[in-house]
């Protein structure tokens, strides 16, 4: 199974609560923090919700 590296590039200040919750659920906190997650439908949906705040790379 492939994996993706998700990096928080923009702040969640002033964003709707669902986007803040999604970023937190992905395990991201501060700017430029990153996590490596398996690429599945659930993670892909979370990425789509906050796609304007994160950078995604295949690992």
Report how far residue 56's alpha carbon sits from residue 59's, in angstroms, rounded to the nearest whole number. Answer: 10
Model confidence pLDDT, tens digit, residues 15-54: 999 999 999 999 999 999 999 999 999 999 999 999 999 9
Model confidence pLDDT, tens digit, residues 1-20: 799 999 999 999 999 999 99
> What is the number of alpha carbons within 13 Å of residue 45 lying toward its C-beta?
5
Q: What is the pLDDT, as a whole number, of residue 55? A: 98
Q: What is the pLDDT, as a whole number, of residue 51? A: 97
Q: What are the chain's domains?
A: 3-58 (3.30.1390.20)
- What six digits make up the tokens of 44? 């892909």
Helix (H, G, I), strand (E, B) or coil at 10: coil
- Paired sense of beta strands 3-8 and 54-58, if any: antiparallel
Helix (H, G, I), strand (E, B) or coil at 57: strand
pLDDT at 58 over 90: yes
Q: Give me the residues paired with residue 54 across strands.
A: 8
């Amino acid at each position: 199974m492939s994996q993706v590296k998700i990096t928080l590039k923009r702040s969640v200040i002033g964003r709707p609560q669902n986007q803040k919750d999604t970023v937190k659920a992905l395990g991201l906190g501060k700017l430029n923090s990153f996590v490596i997650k398996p690429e599945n439908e659930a993670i892909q949906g979370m990425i789509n919700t906050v796609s304007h705040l994160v950078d995604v790379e295949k690992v």
